[in-house]
Amino acid sequence: MPPRFSWPILGVALLIAAFLVAFLIVPVLTVIWVAFADPDGGFTLAHFAGFFSLSLMRESFANSLYVALATVLASTLVAVPLAYLTVRFQFRGAIVIQTLGVLPLIMPAFVGAAALQLLFGRSGSLNLILDDWFGFTLPIMQGLNGIVFVETLHYFPFILLNLSVALNNIDVAMEESAQNLGAHGWRLFRRIVFPLAMPGYVAGASLVFIKVFDDLGTPLVLNVTNMLAPQAYLRVTSIGIEDPIGFVICVILVAFSVAAMAGSGAFLRGREFATLQRGGQSLLRRRLAPWQAVLAYGWIGLVLALVLSPHLGVLLLSFSRVWSYSVLPEAWTLAHYATVFGDSSRMIWNTFVYCGLAALIDVSIGTAIAYLVLRTRLPGRQLLDHMATVALAMPGVVLGIGYLRTFRNVEIPLTGTALTASWLIFVLAYSVRRLPYALRSCMAAMQQVHTSLEEAAQNLGASRAGTIRRVIVPLMAGGILAGFVTSFITAAVEISETILLTSRESLAPMSYGIYLYMQSIAGRGPGAALGVISVVMVAFGTYLSHRFVASREAHHIARGKP
Amino acid sequence: MTRSTPASAAFASVALVAALSAAAFVPAASAQTVTVITSFPKELTSAYKSAFEKANPGARLEVLNKGTSAAVAFTRETPAGSRPDVFWASAPDAFEVLAKDGLLEKYDPGVKGIPDRIGNYPINDPQGYYRGQALAGYGIMWNTRYLKANQLPEPREWVDLARPAYFGHVAVSSPSRSGTTHLTVETILQGEGWAKGWAQILQIAGNSAAITERSFGVPDGVSNGQYGLGLVIDFFGLAARNSGFPVEFVYPSVTAIVPANIGLVAGAKNAEWGRRFIQFTLSPEGQKLLLDPKISRLPVLPETYKSAPAGYPDPYGGRIRAKVNFDSDLSERRYYLVSSLFDHTITFRHKELAAATKAIHEAAARLAARPNAQGAKLLAEARELAFSPLVDEAKMRDDSFVKIFRETKRDAESQKRMTALEEHWAKDARLNYERAADLARQAGKLAQ
């Protein structure tokens, strides 16, 4: 490892640190401070005492915890078989399943929840059929368990993705020796495979926990208010009241998310997961026995049907003129698409620009941090990693309010426009909140580039900058692209910050447009149409990048890449 | 390695996009951009945008759509000089808050033909900070298919919604979440009186399948058939019906007609054109836009109704019998009390309230079949427990009590008072509902 200290490296590190402090730490602190401030600006813990004295708050806390944990459990039941079957067995359509598994993430949660109401709600298609044929209905979308249902469908891909990667990396020799020693089936999975894949599972599960614990949109669409995030939102956004208890809840949300992340880190530390050889191409895929295959395809079919149901609902809605108390819409139209292309094409363009730039910033910073952490011995370099990762735990509402507060009097140099009134604010907000995703991809990619390649380049006379540009970045391209796509997708469906930060409709991205349309009866159709367009575009982008990564890998293998 | 790597190609193309977009986003420095901040839906704002831009070549209308409370917060947090020019929303309370904070500028567009009052309610702010731009009444909307499938009768009055047949079929929103729901609740309270009004509201809420988070959640859920009926502002019901949904709408006799307002923001970017836009919305041409089937609002200019389609409700023509003379001072005085009381005893305790309501309906049905004096007594007690407000009328009139809700919550003392009160409400409400359900079950057993 080249350990040297140098001025350019220190400069880059300070630049990144300044960016994170200005656009993440300071805005969050301005919001959190309210929870500790008395009217004279002094420090007080009275608001926390107030919080804990309310039985409603204790109940909300318990409900949020229940929903988050139940969703982790339900997501595990969905994702683990899906990941295990498609990665470790000869399976037809494995790539299709893996791609479809990502689809839920590329739809704003509130759109999915609205579509699910039409299919599984009180008078949704399913319940109308059940009532007609059997005379009973199922309360699928009601109460806390309704939230668990919707959140599971939306967030289980986090476990699926992380676990698939981890399963792919297990040394096949481990599995084979276990089999030779007589372990099969469930025992093999429980004692050998799953424990080895633990890092991936824990990473995914803690993400699901954080996302669900902080989620605001789904409880609100299902009209459940006795949970922490909705309580914070209701208290902070009421007219004329600035209620510190709302901010106390923000602090608790942040604290819990950070604790979940730190907890998963501590759980994994001190255990040995590494195996000598990576899985990769040597991976042996086993065959399923016929009865197993029937079960496996049946389960996967059921899961996929559920996973795709929000998309199906939105698609139906986007073509329907009237859909009311019936199993399917009764009148069809293409007019909603015409409306959307007529007056929202600017929003589609805006989404591409904001999310593209934000993702670009993310992979640049992500690559730089990965380099600083893995390839230098700069003191305090881990701090950059931790700071960037904390953004994962920041609820969008907190960051949104923080931006408005912190930058309300800041002007962009030379233009004279306020920062909060310009489109740059979206790029900054998106890039900060999506940085952790890109950072993880870049880290993983750089860990797989062997240092001997860099040393060889430098021995041949390449400068450090030249080595980064000509050797490291090209070798990391797959990982960087994956990071870019994840940042882009998740930024494109972000809504809570977006609503707060939109200062003019002409600056608004697509997610705001969908939200706006969905506020009126006549707007449901166009809103759904815009949702369909966004899903199709993002899915197409994801598919292209998968193709790109796959072809690059094939290329490298052909050239004998190590 | 001389070929350009895909990564750097990606970098280059994104940089190109960035440059292009930067060029596209340099704000056009024309002075004719009017920014309107509003809670109104896109159909309405798009109609005004295209009509206004057509009538004023060179002018551009920027619409900023936010919920009413978010719009107030946004206007307040924006420094003078870059604020939106025009504030346009239903709830008069929002305008009162803005005027009090010095965020509105007086303006009289000098439009002729608009009466001073609708019923007893002044159409324009007496102090001149904001003006009525449309009229709105409150009523009941229902899904005809839903009612038919569940064999339910059509409602006429608020009190109908408390009937046992409607249990689990109604939807209402919360006054703390939506200005329009607050006006509806306040209308019932003023029309029926504090105690009787709350009893009605509690019974309707007990019959509800959900207390929706946004006021739009009610018309939306009724239109797509998730709920059978709901309390809505008139244009939601009329617009849904006129867009082809199987819904109907009725004004109950205890309704109030209240203006939706428009006002010029103080410290606006472009006050001159803000004034022109306000003038446009009040002109005959601007008023006529409200009659569009997708918008379906009641114009404030009486002559507009001459070009309305047959059957269009006319608040000036006596077709809507608004019995309540809405008192906005009273409404403003107890605004936070009503909202908090509703949330802590209804929204957050809805499960227990619904359970109590169900038990009461069942007991009443049994007692009707087999009358029993002791049972009737227990049932009356259960009703009293479940459907009485936790704050009585005397306390509501007590100024020192209402003041608790208006103080800033940053001060530790008032914070403590407020949380103690919330905790007290939450506990009592839960206890009352559980006891009411118990008593009702006992009453039902006596009927056997």
Contact in structure between B191 and B202 (CB atoms under 8 Å): no
pLDDT in tens, A380-420: 888 888 888 888 777 777 788 788 778 877 887 777 777 87
Residue B395 CA from chain centroid, whole number: 26
Q: Does A54 touch chain B (CB under 8 A)?
A: yes
pLDDT in tens, B196-252: 999 999 999 999 999 998 778 899 999 989 999 999 988 889 889 888 899 999 998
CA gap B150, B144 in Å, rounded: 10
Name the band, by pLDDT with cuts 50, 70 and 90, for residue B374: very high
Question: B178 to chain A nearest CA, in Å?
Answer: 9
Lowest mean pLDDT among A341-355, A366-380, A445-459, B406-420: B406-420
Among A200, A57, A105, A47, smallest CA distance to A493 is for: A105
- ipTM for the predicted complex comes to 0.78
> Rg of chain A over CA atoms, in angstroms?
25
- Range of A53's domain? 45-308
Residue B20 has pLDDT above 70, yes or no: no
Name the band, by pLDDT with cuts 50, 70 and 90, for residue B338: very high
Residues of B in contact with A449 (CB under 8 A): none
User: How confident is the model at residue B138, as a pLDDT?
Assistant: 85
CATH number at A52 reads 1.10.3720.10
3-state DSSP of A169-233: CCCHHHHHHHHHCCCCHHHHHHHHHHHHCHHHHHHHHHHHHHHHHHCCHHHHHCCCCCCHHHHHH
Q: Indicate the residue of B18, B145, B217 with minimum beta-carbon distance to A324.
A: B145
Q: Is residue A58 domain-resident?
A: yes
**How many beta-carbon pairs under 8 angstroms link A with B?**
210
Residues of B in contact with A221 (CB under 8 A): 213
pLDDT in tens, A480-501: 887 888 888 888 888 778 877 8
Give φ, ψ of B185 to 5 degrees. -60, -45
Put simply, the answer to whether A50 touches B344 (Cβ < 8 Å) is: no
Put simply, the answer to whether B220 touches A356 (Cβ < 8 Å) is: no
Residue A253's H or E segment, with its range, is helix A244-268
CA gap B42, A349 in Å, rounded: 19
A170 vs A360, which has greater pLDDT? A360
3-class DSSP assignment, residue A301: helix
Q: Does A289 touch chain B (CB under 8 A)?
A: no
pLDDT in tens, B182-196: 888 988 899 899 999
Put simply, the answer to whether A484 touches B422 (Cβ < 8 Å) is: no
Q: Does A46 touch chain B (CB under 8 A)?
A: yes
Q: Indicate the residue of B14, B149, B240 with minimum beta-carbon distance to A356.
A: B14
Q: Is residue A295 domain-resident?
A: yes
Q: Does A281 touch chain B (CB under 8 A)?
A: no
Residue B151 CA from chain centroid, whole number: 29
- State how far the alpha carbon of B194 is from the alpha carbons of B131, B190, B230, in Å: 29, 7, 22
Among B118, B165, B124, B136, smallest CA distance to B39 is for: B136
Contact in structure between B396 and B190 (CB atoms under 8 Å): no
Say which amino acid occupies A390: V
Q: Is residue A481 domain-resident?
A: no
Helices and strands in chain A, H and E counts: 27, 2
Among A133, A167, A401, A398, smallest CA distance to A273 is for: A167
Q: Is residue A280 domain-resident?
A: yes
Q: Is residue A440 domain-resident?
A: no
pLDDT in tens, B79-132: 788 789 999 998 887 898 899 889 999 999 888 889 988 877 889 998 999 999
User: How confident is the model at residue B321, as a pLDDT?
Assistant: 66
Residue A256 has pLDDT above 50, yes or no: yes
Q: What percent of chain B has pLDDT over 70?
A: 90
Question: A154 to chain B nearest CA, in Å?
Answer: 21
Q: Does A548 touch chain B (CB under 8 A)?
A: yes
Put simply, the answer to whether A50 touches B416 (Cβ < 8 Å) is: yes
Residue B39 has pLDDT above 90, yes or no: no
Residue B12 has pLDDT above 70, yes or no: no
Q: What is the DSSP string of A127-138?
A: HHHHHHHHS---
Domains plus CATH for chain B? Answer: 33-136+259-307 (3.40.190.10), 138-256+328-446 (3.40.190.10)
User: How confident is the model at residue B407, as a pLDDT?
Assistant: 66
Q: Is residue A540 domain-resident?
A: no
B391 Cβ neighbours under 8 A, 6+ residues apart: B337, B341, B401
3-class DSSP assignment, residue A66: helix
Residues of A in contact with B41 (CB under 8 A): 519-520, 522-523
> Rg of chain B over CA atoms, in angstroms?
25
Strand pairing report for B208-212 and B170-173 = parallel
Instruction: Provide the 8-state DSSP code for B268.
Output: B
Residue B332's H or E segment, with its range, is helix B328-333
- State how far the alpha carbon of B73 is from the alpha carbons of A287, A529, B94, in Å: 61, 31, 10
pLDDT in tens, B289-325: 999 988 889 999 999 999 988 888 888 876 666 677 7
Question: B429 to chain A nearest CA, in Å?
Answer: 12
Half-sphere exposure for B251 (CA within 13 Å, toward CB): 23
Q: What pTM value is reported for the model?
A: 0.82
Residue A550 has pLDDT above 70, yes or no: no
Half-sphere exposure for B356 (CA within 13 Å, toward CB): 32
Residue B24 has pLDDT above 70, yes or no: no
Q: Is residue A144 domain-resident?
A: yes
B263 Cβ neighbours under 8 A, 6+ residues apart: B86, B87, B88, B95, B98, B99, B104, B105, B107, B125, B129, B130, B131, B278
Name the band, by pLDDT with cuts 50, 70 and 90, for residue A238: low
User: How confident is the model at residue B5, as a pLDDT?
Assistant: 43
Domain count, chain A: 1
Name the band, by pLDDT with cuts 50, 70 and 90, for residue B135: very high
Please, which residues 505-534 of chain A have a Cβ atom closer than 8 Å to chain B?
Answer: 505-507, 516-517, 519-524
CA B85, B214, B335, B230: dihedral to nearest 10 degrees? 120
Contact in structure between A140 and A126 (CB atoms under 8 Å): yes
3-state DSSP of A383-427: HHHHHHHHHHHCCHHHHHHHHHHHHCCCECCCCCCEHHHCCHHHH
CA gap B293, B242 in Å, rounded: 5
Name the band, by pLDDT with cuts 50, 70 and 90, for residue A93: low
Residues of A in contact with B409 (CB under 8 A): 241-245
Q: Is residue A178 domain-resident?
A: yes
